[in-house]
Homo-oligomer: A and B are copies of this chain.
Amino acid sequence: MILYDTKVAPNPRRVRIFLAEKGIDIPMVQVDLGKGEHKQADYSKINALQRTPSLVLDDGTIITESVAICRYFEELQPEPRLFGRGALGCATVEMWRRRVELHSMMPTAMVFRHTHPAMAAMENPQIPQVAETNRPRVLDFLAVLDSRLAETRWLAGDDFSIADIDGLVALDFLRMARIQLPAELTHVARWHGDLSARPSAKA
């Protein structure tokens, strides 16, 4: 199998960290978004939506969407469990994974896409007002995250999970959108330190 990856983009990073946590090593091919390689005919045949990552299995079957690729490997190699265990465990991981994605990643992406000069061609037109309305949403959610992390070591409880991987990707993405983690969110800062210290953070 081959994973079509993009080193600088947040969604593919989620898969690389997930694979590193599972101890799974697979061949990767880089798709350079800056050069528009994701919009070329060859890659569009793999993913009509022209996004990375994509996983191509040995029989040619294609799985796109970072979380779907992670789910594939969770089922193939269940341990260590990263999507949770039992009904409540799985639901809790899904809840926090989704919250991070919808309320941190997405509004951060809106700020990034509508302000960063490097995104001027991809997000045309850039609308500064979109960034302005999304920045406070990110900050509001980071405060909710801090309350949660005052109570638990990892986002879904005692066990590290894909929700934490989403968290690391989301927090590191803040810098691209020039959003600073407020100094009073000490629990988020502690968690970010723990996540960054794991070898998988470098994947």
- A residues with a Cβ closer than 8 A to B are 48-49, 57, 61, 63-65, 67-69, 71-73, 75-76, 86-88, 90-92, 94-95, 98-99, 103, 106, 125, 127, 129-130, 133, 141, 144, 147
Contact = CB atoms under 8 A, between A and B. Distances in A.
B75 A92 contact: no
Nearest to A103: B49
B94 A67 contact: yes
Given A49-B144, A129-B125, A147-B48, A90 B71 contact: yes
B98 A68 contact: yes
Contact of A48 (B63, B73, B144): B144
Contact of A75 (B75, B86, B106, B127): B86
A127 B125 CA distance: 13
Given A75-B87, A127-B129, A130-B130, A63 B92 contact: yes
Contacts of A72: 87-88, 90-91
Contacts of A125: 129, 133
Given A98-B68, A133-B125, A63 B91 contact: yes
Nearest to A95: B68
A123 B90 CA distance: 32
B76 A92 contact: no
Contacts of A73: 87
Given A99-B65, A129-B125, A130-B127, A71 B49 contact: no
Given A75-B90, A133-B125, A95 B63 contact: yes
A94 B71 contact: yes
Contacts of A61: 88
A91 B68 CA distance: 5
Closest 10 CB pairs of A and B: A75-B87, A72-B91, A68-B95, A68-B94, A65-B98, A65-B95, A71-B94, A68-B91, A76-B87, A63-B91
Contacts of A65: 94-95, 98-99
